[in-house]
Amino acid sequence: MIDRDLQSWYAQLHQPYVDAGILPPYALAGYRERSVFIRNSMHVPPPKDGVPNAIEAFFEVLIQEPHPAVRAILGHFTFVFIHPYPDGNGRIGRFLMNAMLASGGYPWTILHVGRRTEYMTALEEASTRGNIAPFTQFVAREMAVNWCKTNILWRSKISIDAKTCYQKCHF
């Protein structure tokens, strides 16, 4: 599903940015045409010529991973690591994560903007040091938040999923 719909989802999610003049229309046409650098990060995404092969490998890994929480967290991380688009990789990465979580029966998960620093720090740790544990733990905590209530609810299933993801994603 993701390999078939990724480009369409990206275009639909970012069309308002084109309409507002923030992105040029060609930005929705496909993968990036130049090198990109992530603000405040030591991670340098693969060169533009490596993006198609990296995305193909990304899809293959997702297909092979049976556990939906692992697939979602690993998928989000790998997608933003590749950074295939000129803009909006984080937005589409979070969307992909939620699509994969929902396909496994998990609720939609909000990565709250107030925790952006922790989110970016965890991604940086995974991208530059190969330590995905902080990112896995961050997402697991966010999965446990019940935004319909004022308190945070923890579910035992989330702890198991975080542990499973850490064991499978640790490299």
Residues counted in the chain: 171
Question: Is 83 considered catalytic here?
Answer: yes
Please tell me the distance from the alpha carbon of residue 102 to that of residue 108, in angstroms, as a whole number: 6
Question: DSSP string covering 91-114, please?
Answer: HHHHHHHHHHHHHTTPPP----GG
Please tell me the distance from the alpha carbon of residue 99 to that of residue 91, in angstroms, as a whole number: 12
Name the catalytic one among 43, 67, 76, 83.
83
Longest dimension (CA), the chain: 47
Q: Would you name the residues annotated as active-site residues? A: 83
